Structures are given as C-alpha cells and as structure tokens.
C-alpha cells in the first residue's frame, strides 16, 4: 500500500506527535507525483523527517533512548496503517550522531600522543617540511566500504573552539535492524567509555 503522507501525519498526531502549523498538501491538478520532503511531526526534542522520493523516514533528536522509542512508534504506524513489512522493505537503518564531550586531559596533547612510535608521521613531516602529529582519531569498518549497507565510521578530534573538549562524529549503518537498535542503546555512555580509553592510551609515555 502506498504511503499517503496526509494519513501518516494524521496518525503521528494521534500517536502524540505535534504537527507542523502548515501541513504539506498535494498540488492542484491530476497526474502529478506528490512526494513531500521535510519535518512532519515532533515529540519532545525529536523531529520526524520524511522524504518519500528517496524512501527515507528519519528521527532527529538529542537522546538515543528517545530517538529509538520514537522511531519504533513511526514503524508501528507504517506497519499497522500502511501494511508495510518494515523488516523486508527496509534496505538498512543508519545512525548518524554528533556530539561534543569535555575531556579530563588536553584533547590536543592526548591525540598527539596516540601513536608515539609511528615513523609515518616523521616521514610525512619530512616530505612536507613541517613537523606533524595526529590531530584526532578516525576508525572505520575493516571489511566494508563507505557505500555498503553495513558501515561504521568513528571520528574523534579536539574541538577547535574549546581546548578542553572533543568533537565526536559517528555513522553506523546496517541491514540488520536489531544491530542498529543495540548500537544506539546507551550510545552516549559508550562514547564516554571510548573517550576514557583514548585518554588513557594518549597518556602513556613512549618507550
């Protein structure tokens, strides 16, 4: 069954989401494909975004628990009202997260000391004529590529305008829905743990 955006918006309202002041309406006339793009509902700090043309339904928020809860609410609407088999009709789920965290130590010094014995930085510095050191940490999936349906990308670096804070960027994508839900569960605490690990590693003296 095709997803009628006006019905979806109506059902979001019944589920407790506040609706936009101006609801998207199809243009007048016949034979026109109407595929709205944009925010169609909000609950707390979470916003429901829709792009039917690309087949995307998204939740944007600030707390991982609330995001998962509201996304599952939207999935229930799609399943019940539009008979969408979300398990079979979903290509993948993707988590995109950005956050800033205060460190216990200097982020710049910490990241500079992550690979104290690496000769690569010495060689690059010699070739460029500049003494260089790491300015962050970036890790990615070992056995997949950025455009694959299964992908992980983690970036941590000093926050330029705050010398005591880190900027963290994460992309986690999987065709396995439960894996994405598990990854999102307590994501903030997981990032805190990673930060502590990085700071501990960056404080070790070189031998």
- State the pLDDT at residue 23: 59
Report, as an integer, the average pLDDT of 91-111: 95
Residue-wise pLDDT for 33-63, tens only, equals 556 678 999 999 999 999 988 889 999 999 9
Report, as an integer, the average pLDDT of 131-140: 95
What is the percent of the chain with per-residue pLDDT over 90, rounded to a whole number? 76
Domain extents in the chain: 1-90, 91-207
Report, as an integer, the average pLDDT of 79-104: 93
C-alpha to C-alpha distance for 33 and 183, rounded to whole angstroms: 36
- State the pLDDT at residue 32: 52
Stretch among 59-73, 109-123, 148-162 having the lowest mean pLDDT: 109-123
Q: Both tokens of residue 103? A: 């460190």
- State the pLDDT at residue 52: 83
Please state, as a whole number, how many other Cβ atoms lie within 10 Å of the Cβ of residue 175. Answer: 13
| pTM for the model | 0.85
Of the candidates 17, 89, 5, 14, the one whose C-alpha atom is nearest the C-alpha of residue 60 is 17
Residues near 14 by Cβ (< 8 Å), separated by ≥ 6?
A: none
């Amino acid at each position: 069954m095709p997803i009628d955006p006006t019905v979806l918006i109506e059902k979001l309202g019944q589920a407790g989401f506040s609706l936009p002041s101006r609801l998207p309406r199809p243009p007048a006339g016949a034979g026109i494909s109407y595929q709205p793009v944009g925010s169609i509902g909000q609950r707390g700090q979470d916003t429901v975004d829709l792009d039917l043309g690309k087949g995307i339904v998204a939740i944007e928020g600030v707390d991982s628990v609330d995001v998962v809860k509201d996304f599952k609410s939207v999935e229930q609407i799609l399943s019940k009202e539009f008979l969408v088999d979300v398990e079979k009709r979903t290509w993948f789920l993707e988590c995109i997260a950005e956050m800033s965290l205060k460190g216990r130590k200097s982020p710049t010094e910490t990241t500079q000391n992550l690979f104290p014995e690496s000769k690569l930085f010495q060689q690059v510095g010699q070739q460029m004529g500049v003494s260089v050191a790491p300015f962050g940490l970036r890790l990615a999936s070992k056995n997949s590529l950025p455009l694959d349906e299964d992908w992980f990308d983690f970036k941590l670096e000093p926050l330029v305008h705050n010398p005591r804070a880190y900027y963290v960027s994460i992309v986690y994508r999987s065709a396995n829905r439960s894996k994405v839900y598990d990854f999102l569960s307590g994501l903030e605490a997981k990032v805190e743990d990673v930060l502590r690990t990085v700071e501990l590693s960056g404080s070790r003296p070189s031998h």
